[in-house]
Structure 1
Amino acid sequence: MLRNVYILAVLNMIIFIVLFFMLMNKKGYSYQYKFEKIYIATSIFLILTSIKGLGFGETSIQQMICMFLNIYLICRVFYNCDIRKSIFTSLIYSLIYILVGCSIFWFTQITLIKMEYIIEITLIGSTIIFLISIHFFNVLEKLYINNKYYIYIALTTIINLLIILYIYKSDTYIGNLYGMVVKNNLEFSYFVELLRFSSTVKETFPYILVIVSILLISIFLNSIKSEKEKAKKELVNEKLDMQYKYYLMVKDSQEKMKQVYHDMNNHMENIRSLKNSSEDVNKYINNIEDEVRISNNIYNTGNVLLDIIFYEKSKLCMERNINFKVGIDFSKCDFIEMIDISSIFSNLVDNAIEACNKIDDDTIEKYITIKGTLIKGYYVVRCENSKSNKLIIKNNKIITSKKDKFLHGIGIDSIRSSVRKYNGELKIKDSDYKFVATIHIPLE
């Protein structure tokens, strides 16, 4: 009898391993085997653990460790899976196999009067369940993907109902035990039923709870991952949208330039006809120059978002008679996130425009000059603008009136915050008629 049980236990472990190979094949993984040390050592380990066998109805810690190591090594050696996927697959497959086997074993023991073939029924039943599941794996996988959250809710609900049933049954059995002890009412059927029920709960519930816990953790991690993917997708879509808008701006600018060149002869004739009215001639020429300047404000910094920012800011500068010059090749800084590009350069230019707007002296030229260059592994951005208001700078921070703090202080803090994310540094310099902000960002 014991020999038969041992043979069935060995067969159970072999089936456990073989079914996993079938599952991996069904999932589309390519099997590989070479006559090398790692493959031979893994094969010997699988044979030795198979000889030890896998019990029925209950599983020891040693057997669980052997099951986990078997599947983990198969994933890593024969299918070249990564560590994370190997661990997750090993845990889930081992726990489900134990759960199915224990459930069939204890359900059979509770329902059957004769218990001669419980082990055989357990082995055959679990094998059939796994073979059917592997055969219809693609259907089950699709069902899981489309309804995974409903499945998790159903599993959680079932577990809670089973716990409630367990509590209810336990209360009943406690009453029976009270009768057996106090009233000396010894009934063998009560005793056997109590042992079967407690054994069933003991050998199945832990695996159910662990599996559900792993699935819930998996949901949580997948939710975080999906949110990140969603944010990344939105960022990509936003970038594509900006690229398209910028393309339309470039196209519109080119069309305007074509029109200006095409009508240049007509413009010259019109100027000749207005030669007696110098005021009208000057106004006409200024209008042409404005069209050319607007069409010429197209930037090619190597970053679409930065091109758009400069294009928009250049239009503001033109309206306010500020000489706006840009010389930047930002193609080496593609590791900087779009939100930080916007924070850094929008605030730099906005602060500079506000400073220029405060100039009342006509003798002071209103200008903003932004340059970028590579210096010893750093990308250096230098933004210089003219000004007339007085600033006090202490510890690389602006200390001035409340109004100026709002215009400069908040913007500077925002720039500094974005620059620090990339281990960079912001330095500011101030003189009577000039303000300079310099950014150093180490290149990755």
Structure 2
Amino acid sequence: MSNTELSLKSHLRIILIGSILFIDIIFLPFTLKLIQQLHLKSILDTMQEEVEKELEYYHTLENQLIKMRKIRHDFNNQLQTAYMLLDDPNMETASFPDPSELSSPPQFCENKILDFILQDAYSYAKKLRISFNFNVSIPEAIEIESIDLCSIFSNLLNNAIHAAQKTENPTISLNASYSNSELNVEISNTTLEKDIEYRDPKFHGYGL
């Protein structure tokens, strides 16, 4: 093989290697971007699954509360009948609970899913001795998916409770309304300065 042929092959190898490197350099940013997008999609899919599980929980809670309300309603009717059958002039001293004391869980708004979220948060906050003030006016029919509504309020309330429970006089206030296809939410809570204890804060917000 002549020196000319060897030189030509050597140049071709250099050109080939250079072309491969050039292509790698050109496509590297696209490759990195694709990897980042796949990673982000994986994170979003995981978060979506968590929100769907939470929404399913609230649907289950809704069914349970409906059953409890029916049982309470039937029991109240039975008590009323028992009072009527009592042949006692001092009926008010009879050893039966007053039906008015068997109150249903508080209703915070017309939207069922949101109402159960608020009831759940209220019950939990009550156990922690947190003062909870609600002023919520959101109808049942709104242009927001239930899963999104669940995600928004669950995150806000969980963060607010997490922050408020460590303060001396824990208080949470929530104002929310829906008008002209817009959701307006304002939430405030007592908090300690620089109070961040989540292990993975990038997946959590702050109580406001």
TM range (shorter): 0.5 to 0.7
1:329 matched to which residue of 2?
138
- C-alpha distance in structure 2 between counterparts of 1:327 and 1:382, whole Å: 11
Aligned counterpart for 1:288 among listed residues 76, 82, 102: 102
* CA contact 1:343–1:415 (8 Å) conserved in 2: no
Residue by residue over 1:216-236, the C-alpha shift from the partner in whole angstroms, topping out at 9 and shown as x without a partner, is 444322111111222222222
2:11 matched to which residue of 1?
199
2:199 matched to which residue of 1?
none
Task: Classify the secondary structure of the residue corresponding to 2:31.
Answer: helix
Task: Classify the secondary structure of the residue corresponding to 1:414.
Answer: coil
* CA contact 2:176–2:183 (8 Å) conserved in 1: no
* CA contact 1:327–1:371 (8 Å) conserved in 2: yes
Task: Classify the secondary structure of the residue corresponding to 1:230.
Answer: helix
| CA RMSD between the two structures | 4.6
Consecutive unaligned residues in structure 2, runs of 5 or more: 197-204
* CA contact 1:246–1:308 (8 Å) conserved in 2: yes
Aligned counterpart for 1:372 among listed residues 171, 176, 192: 176
2:73 matched to which residue of 1?
261
Distance 1:202 1:271, change over 3 A: same
2:206 matched to which residue of 1?
414
Consecutive unaligned residues in structure 1, runs of 5 or more: 1-188, 360-366, 385-403, 417-444
- C-alpha distance in structure 1 between counterparts of 2:109 and 2:131, whole Å: 17
Task: Classify the secondary structure of the residue corresponding to 1:281.
Answer: coil
Residue by residue over 1:392-437, the C-alpha shift from the partner in whole angstroms, topping out at 9 and shown as x without a partner, is xxxxxxxxxxxx863x7638x9335xxxxxxxxxxxxxxxxxxxxx
Distance 1:279 1:258, change over 3 A: same
Distance 1:353 1:287, change over 3 A: farther
- C-alpha distance in structure 1 between counterparts of 2:160 and 2:93, whole Å: 40
Shift in Å, 1:344: 3.8
The aligned runs of 1:236-385 (5 Å cut-off) are: 236-271=48-83, 273=86, 278=93, 280-282=95-97, 285=99, 288-289=102-103, 292-293=104-105, 296-297=106-107, 299=109, 309-316=117-124, 319=127, 324-329=133-138, 341-342=153-154, 344-348=156-160, 358=169, 370-373=174-177, 379=184, 381=186
Residue by residue over 1:241-292, the C-alpha shift from the partner in whole angstroms, topping out at 9 and shown as x without a partner, is 222111111111112222222333212234454965738334x647622xx2
- C-alpha distance in structure 2 between counterparts of 1:280 and 1:353, whole Å: 39
Task: Classify the secondary structure of the residue corresponding to 2:175.
Answer: strand
* CA contact 1:343–1:414 (8 Å) conserved in 2: no
The aligned runs of 1:9-24 (5 Å cut-off) are: none
Residue by residue over 1:112-162, the C-alpha shift from the partner in whole angstroms, topping out at 9 and shown as x without a partner, is xxxxxxxxxxxxxxxxxxxxxxxxxxxxxxxxxxxxxxxxxxxxxxxxxxx
- C-alpha distance in structure 2 between counterparts of 1:368 and 1:271, whole Å: 41
Residue by residue over 1:37-69, the C-alpha shift from the partner in whole angstroms, topping out at 9 and shown as x without a partner, is xxxxxxxxxxxxxxxxxxxxxxxxxxxxxxxxx
- C-alpha distance in structure 1 between counterparts of 2:96 and 2:130, whole Å: 21
Task: Classify the secondary structure of the residue corresponding to 1:381.
Answer: strand
Task: Classify the secondary structure of the residue corresponding to 2:138.
Answer: coil
Distance 1:280 1:354, change over 3 A: farther
* CA contact 2:138–2:178 (8 Å) conserved in 1: no
Letter matched to residue 370 of structure 1 = L
* CA contact 1:328–1:370 (8 Å) conserved in 2: no
Q: Work out the percentage of aligned pairs sharing the same amino acid.
A: 11
TM-score (normalizing by structure 1): 0.33
Shift in Å, 1:297: 4.4
Q: Which has the higher contact order (CA 8 A, sep 6+)?
A: 2
* CA contact 2:108–2:119 (8 Å) conserved in 1: yes
